[in-house]
Structure 1
Amino acid sequence: MNKRKKIIAIMIVIAVVLLVGLFGYGIWKKYAAKETAKENTEEYEDESYITYKGKRYEYNYHLKNMLFIGVDKSQEMTETEVGQGGQADTLILLSMDRENKTTTLLQIPRDAMTDIDIYDMNGEYLSTERGQISLQYAYGDGKKKSCRMMMTSVSELLYEIPIDSYLALGVDGIADITNLMGGVTLTVPEDYTDIDPAFKAGETIVLAGEQAEKYVRYRDVNVSGSNTQRMERQAQFMEALARQMQGKDTGWYRQLLEGAKEYITMDLSVDEMERMKSYEMKETIEKVPGEVKQGEEHDEFIVDNEKLRDLVIKLFYKPVE
């Protein structure tokens, strides 16, 4: 079992690796609101087929897609007013191919610039504006509505590929889960002593509680591009967590999820998650292409729409001979 396959086990715990929603449609529609070059003509023949760069493709109906949302909220996940539910600090799309029994991870930067639907305190729609994709979560109720809104925003960013289900984890859930596990052991790959004195390069440490949260969550908002380094730490943490979860049964997962249930919102059952264990994780973790630029107030990840179209075709479509 390779390292990426191990990620599946971990994602099951902190809110990860499973996708089992009802998947019954797949389409590629032209997303007119997106600022994207028009040189490459795309013909939308029906709900299943497209012609892109002179080649014909069909949506891969064997896929089921689940969105993992790491929520930047240090309280229990409860329904709340608009603006009080936190933001989507981590976004990972898990795409499971039922035919090949493989799972692909696609990371979406929290700072990716896209269209955000704005709502007032009563939940009434006001306007659509350009903003970081992470903000869309805050315009919901902090639970199911926020998750559904994030599913829509990510789907639209990815040219409306269907997303079937979601799993959201509040930041405090990281501390609870690592405490329940007795800590997560890993070797610090580079010097992170600016985050915590214990995070020395080459040191093998046991992360639990607030220290684990720090390792996964911290970034210096005053340093442009700091989210990229944080995403790398998150991937390393998940791999380390996976190594400690091998051979665990459904009852163990249930107990772990029960211990952190106040910080989790999902539309999946534990049994559905359990069925994911037979899938092999692909070694390459895909990332939405683009570059970080300094905005007026915060970092802005500017998506390379042409490269993103190519990536979406590669991951979610198959050529028609």
Structure 2
Amino acid sequence: MLIAAIAIILVIIMVGVAAACLINAGRSSLLQEAATVETSEDAVSHDDGKTVTYNGKTYRLNENVTSICVIGNDQESSVPAEGFNGQADVIMVMALDTETGEITGISIPRDSMVEVNRNYHGSDKLYDTKRLQISLAYAYGTSDEASSELVCTAASRILYNIPINYYYTISMSGIAALADAVDGVTVEALETIPNTSIREGETVILYGKEALRYVQWRDATEYGSALDRQARQQQFVSALASQALETAKSNPSVLVDLFNTMSAYSTTNLGAAEFSYLASIVVGHGVESLDLTSLQGESVYNEESPWEQFILDKDAVYQTVLDVYYTPVE
């Protein structure tokens, strides 16, 4: 979704706009110098986390990588008693290496436990910070913009303070329209979905409401069902992005349709300059797909909460951060 939008934005901007100036401005905005990056307790660093030694290997922070948090909100469902604005059912941090064009999506399970900033009811003033599922971070904003920023902050905390200043948020209700905009999304069904024609193991083309059902349904009575749904969401996003870009080779208008469809359901703080810079990287490197990885951990139930919690494996998360954002030093 995000990759397709970036490509079409470049086409639009190139008409009658000083694209080179926008690209330079976008680069300056997106590639800001990182603040202190946290390190694992087992890592050693003497330069604010920019160079670290971990498990006998030395890594250097790749400052050419920029991150965008892609969020899917569930505003169609009931709002939590303590919140205002729904929850974040999909949280993926897209890391783009501006030198190579490589894109890695880091999927953060919605029930991952993290310190969440909670605002006063009806305002964007910080009330306190509490350890909660990251999906609830979205609930404490008074607007989609404020909610998205809260999710970015929580995601950055999980990823050892890697800066995540930009977001692209889409309502889950837009999934049906997105699937239709690319004439259906082809996947091999990972599960049988009730009240649909989708059967596990079968290759299906997802349109409209069945596409939404595929990425949204889960059996809340089944332990670990949130992770099963996350796997389907990752599969859908990857297939949609690859399919849209492949189709655009012979029919560029599909990107126009996709971008227009997304606009009706999305919120972002990426401006024309940032989009044009990202687009120049994606188009320049001929990016046709993205790699996806999921943060590892364990689903548990805590006596203090009736809701499932995902306890992240700190060592595995830190290794993911090193693999995505750092370069090994010989």
Q: TM-score range, shorter-chain basis?
A: 0.7 to 0.9
Contact kept? 1:43, 1:52, Cα under 8 Å: no
The alpha-carbon distance between structure 1 residues 28 and 315, as it changes in their structure 2 partners (threshold 3 A), is farther
Structure in which a larger fraction of residues adopt helix: 2
3-state SS in 2 of match to 1:93: strand
Partner residue, 2:139: 138
Report the TM-score when normalising by structure 2: 0.78
One-letter identity of the residue aligned with 1:117: N
Structure 1: gaps (5+ residues): 1-9, 76-81
One-letter identity of the residue aligned with 1:67: C
Task: Give, in whole Å, the separation in 1 of the partners of 2:243 and 2:4.
Answer: 11
In the alignment, does 2:292 pair up with 1:288?
no
Partner residue, 1:184: 185
Contact kept? 1:86, 1:142, Cα under 8 Å: no
Shift of 1:66: 1.2
The alpha-carbon distance between structure 1 residues 132 and 50, as it changes in their structure 2 partners (threshold 3 A), is same
Question: How big is each residue's C-alpha offset from its partner over 1:35-55, in whole Å with a ceiling of 9 and x where there is no partner?
Answer: x8x4x2533424633444565
Contact kept? 2:190, 2:201, Cα under 8 Å: yes
Q: Percent identity?
A: 29
Task: Give, in whole Å, the separation in 1 of the partners of 2:151 and 2:51.
Answer: 26
Shift of 1:201: 3.0
In the alignment, does 2:307 pair up with 1:298?
yes
3-state SS in 2 of match to 1:285: strand
Structure 1 residue ranges (4+ consecutive) displaced by more than 6 angstroms after TM superposition: none
Partner residue, 1:209: 208
Bigger Cα displacement from structure 2, 245-254 vs 222-231 = 245-254
Question: 1:82-101 to 2 correspondence within 5 Å?
Answer: 83-101=83-101
Question: How big is each residue's C-alpha offset from its partner over 1:159-181, in whole Å with a ceiling of 9 and x where there is no partner?
Answer: 10112421111011111222334
One-letter identity of the residue aligned with 1:175: A
In the alignment, does 2:24 pair up with 1:22?
no
The alpha-carbon distance between structure 1 residues 236 and 300, as it changes in their structure 2 partners (threshold 3 A), is same
3-state SS in 1 of match to 2:255: helix
One-letter identity of the residue aligned with 2:89: D
3-state SS in 2 of match to 1:222: coil
3-state SS in 2 of match to 1:42: coil
Shift of 1:231: 1.6
Task: Give, in whole Å, the separation in 2 of the partners of 1:241 and 1:53.
Answer: 37
Shift of 1:309: 1.8
Question: 1:10-159 to 2 correspondence within 5 Å?
Answer: 10-13=1-4, 22-30=30-38, 38=41, 40-46=42-48, 48-53=50-55, 55-74=57-76, 83-123=83-123, 124-159=125-160
Tell me the number of residue pairs that the alignment of Structure 1 and Structure 2 aligns: 298
Partner residue, 1:309: 318
3-state SS in 1 of match to 2:260: helix
Bigger Cα displacement from structure 2, 21-30 vs 120-129 = 21-30
Partner residue, 2:19: none
The alpha-carbon distance between structure 1 residues 13 and 209, as it changes in their structure 2 partners (threshold 3 A), is farther
Contact kept? 1:66, 1:95, Cα under 8 Å: yes
3-state SS in 2 of match to 1:241: helix
Report the TM-score when normalising by structure 1: 0.80
Shift of 1:135: 0.6
